[in-house]
């Protein structure tokens, strides 16, 4: 058999990959043309009918080229999601002069390497902005920095698919004047990282922020005689373990963050849930305006007092106006024992007629009511769930 030259084939693959990159960039440029036409014709950005036809056609054509339809579906779903996000971000910037492509001073928990930093980077990519770093050591410091105008924006985790709601952030939302202007979903893949040559059996102490510790509880519970050390943030845990250079000490963090600190992974994917994601919110002093062409989400808080059926009555107002509720959470109210504050997210634009009618009725029937903000709904359901 003739000798096959690996380097030569790899050169061809690299050339093809570069062509693919150019094609992806060309497709994105066309998406921008599409959104401009949708603005003229007042059409919504998302067109599920077109997406279904496109995917069916590609699966069919792919089959003839020996490409599995599951593979084609996965690749094109991700290309289409990017195209929808690109169009929504374009429209948001057009409608909101505050969302310019500028440098933003962003307050977040930790520093480079923290999951919050990854969320900050994702936000900046959507506004084409740069970062003036404002790392903080607590959630209330983040709210305070934005409220006192020391920072332009704050980025905070609010819920996780394994450990649930982040109560501290929910509690701070009760008293803040800040508005939620965006949400971000960050896949969180926890690894067990070490600073030098070692083995899992040698580890006696594991450092981590309390969120990753909660999200990896199954893995940690299986280990015997391990001391868990809770740190302020993932980045402070990473830098401490890097400095200690101890073969008995490990830390929970992403493989990528580990690279920043010269740490190696000895166990990958140690979270309780495989699809471990954290939802972050972006807060600012000014609310944003979400164009009707975009998929919107609105967050509200309300309390209903102690009357029997009071919560049901409030929720029936959403039903009456066909406002879809996608999340409800409750937290105690400081200084009012046994009263609860309800946090409600709806997939509706704050400016819509249905929402305005519902709000008018809610205000007349509940004890406390406030709007936390309206922003782009960036929820993506995993393939298995949909």
Report how far apart, in Å, the C-alpha atoms of 331 and of each of 92, 163, 177, 301 are: 32, 16, 18, 10
Which CB, 47 or 340, lies closer to ligand ISJ? 47
Provide the minimum distance between the beta carbon of 93 and ligand ISJ in the complex, in angstroms, as a whole number: 17
Q: Least distance in Å: CB of 86 to ligand ISJ?
A: 9
Burial of 250 (0-12, 13-18, 19+ CB in 10 A): buried
- 337 contact partners, CB below 8 Å, separation of at least 6: none
Indicate the residue among 46 and 260 with the shorter CB distance to ligand ISJ: 46
Rounded to a whole number of angstroms, the minimum distance from the CB of residue 305 to ligand ISJ is: 43
- Residues in contact with ligand ISJ by the rule CB under 6 A: 31, 34, 45-47, 50-51, 54, 80, 83-84
3-state secondary structure of 150: coil
Residue of minimal Cβ distance to ligand ISJ = 83
Between the alpha carbon of residue 8 and those of residues 4, 20, 140, 303, the distances in Å are 8, 19, 56, 68
Question: From the CB of 240, what's the least distance to ligand ISJ, in Å?
Answer: 44
Residue 29 and residue 42: Cα distance in Å, rounded? 20
Of the pair 54, 380, the CB lying nearest ligand ISJ is at 54
Asked if residues 133 and 120 have their Cβ atoms less than 8 Å apart, the reply is no
The torsion angles phi and psi of 251, rounded to 5 degrees, stand at -145, 150
CB of 55 to ligand ISJ, least distance (A): 9
Listed residue (189, 242, 177, 224) closest to 373, CA to CA:
177
Q: How far is the CB of 323 from ligand ISJ (least distance, A)?
A: 23
Structure token pair of residue 278: 């954290």
């Amino acid at each position: 058999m003739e000798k096959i030259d690996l380097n030569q084939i790899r050169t061809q693959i690299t050339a093809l990959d570069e062509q693919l990159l150019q094609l992806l960039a060309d497709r994105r440029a066309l998406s921008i043309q599409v959104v401009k036409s949708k603005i003229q014709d007042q059409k919504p950005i998302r067109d599920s009918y077109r997406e279904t036809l496109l995917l069916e056609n590609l699966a069919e054509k792919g089959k003839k080229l020996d490409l599995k339809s599951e593979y084609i579906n996965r690749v094109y779903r991700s290309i289409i999601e990017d195209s929808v996000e690109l169009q929504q971000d374009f429209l948001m910037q057009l409608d909101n002069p505050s969302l310019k492509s500028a440098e933003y001073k962003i307050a977040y928990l930790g520093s480079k390497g923290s999951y919050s930093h990854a969320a900050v980077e994702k936000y900046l990519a959507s506004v084409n902005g740069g970062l003036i770093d404002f790392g903080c050591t607590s959630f209330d410091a983040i709210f305070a920095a934005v409220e006192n105008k020391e920072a332009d924006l704050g980025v905070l985790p609010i819920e996780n698919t394994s450990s649930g709601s982040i109560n501290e952030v929910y509690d701070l939302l009760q008293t803040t004047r800040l508005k939620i202007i965006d949400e971000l979903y960050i896949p969180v893949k926890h690894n067990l990282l070490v600073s030098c040559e070692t083995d899992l059996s040698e580890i006696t102490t594991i450092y981590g922020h309390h969120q990753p510790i909660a999200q990896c509880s199954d893995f940690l519970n299986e280990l015997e005689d391990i001391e868990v050390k809770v740190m302020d943030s993932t980045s402070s845990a990473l830098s401490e373990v890097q400095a200690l250079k101890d073969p008995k000490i490990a830390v929970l963090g992403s493989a990528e963050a580990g690279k920043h600190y010269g740490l190696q992974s000895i166990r990958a994917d140690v979270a309780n849930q495989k699809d471990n994601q954290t939802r972050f919110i972006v807060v600012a002093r000014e609310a944003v305006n979400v164009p009707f062409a975009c998929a919107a989400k609105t967050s509200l808080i309300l309390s209903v007092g102690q009357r029997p059926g009071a919560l049901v009555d409030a929720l029936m107002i959403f039903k009456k106006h066909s406002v879809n509720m996608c999340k409800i959470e409750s937290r105690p109210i400081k200084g009012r024992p046994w009263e609860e504050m309800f946090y409600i997210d709806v997939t509706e634009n704050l400016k819509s007629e249905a929402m305005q009618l519902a709000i008018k009725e809610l205000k007349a029937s509940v004890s406390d009511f406030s709007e936390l903000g309206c922003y782009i709904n960036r929820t993506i359901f995993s393939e298995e769930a949909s």
